[in-house]
Amino acid sequence: MEATDVLANMKMLIALLLWAILLVLCWPLALFLLFVWPILWLLAIPFRVFATVMAAMLALVGLLLFLPARVLGHRHP
């Protein structure tokens, strides 16, 4: 297993444990979150797509700005 897989699994385990604690302490809120969380996740998708597109555009702008230096043979230390 890679380190990112282990980290993702650990985050999921912690989230499940916190939800179980919330279920014991305040079950109406836990059940509400169980149904609302997927809706919030779906509403966040356009923002994630926008962030990905903006990161790609900024990478492209950086590539174009540093292209003359790369053509002239400048190397990063």
In a domain, 29, yes or no: yes
**What residues make up the domain containing 7?**
3-71
In a domain, 76, yes or no: no
Q: Which residue has the tokens 């190397």?
A: 75
- Is the confidence at residue 4, as pLDDT, over 90? no
Q: How many domains does the chain have?
A: 1
In a domain, 77, yes or no: no
Query: Dihedral through CA 35, CA 37, CA 40, CA 42, nearest 10?
Result: -80
In a domain, 39, yes or no: yes
Q: pLDDT band at residue 58, thresholds of 50, 70 and 90?
A: very high
Q: Which residue has the higher pLDDT, 75 or 44?
A: 44
What is the per-residue pLDDT for 1?
Answer: 63
In a domain, 51, yes or no: yes
Greatest Cα-to-Cα distance within the chain, rounded to the nearest angstrom: 65
pTM, rounded to two decimals? 0.61
In a domain, 23, yes or no: yes
What is the per-residue pLDDT for 70?
Answer: 82
In whole angstroms, what is the distance from residue 68 CA to residue 71 CA?
A: 5
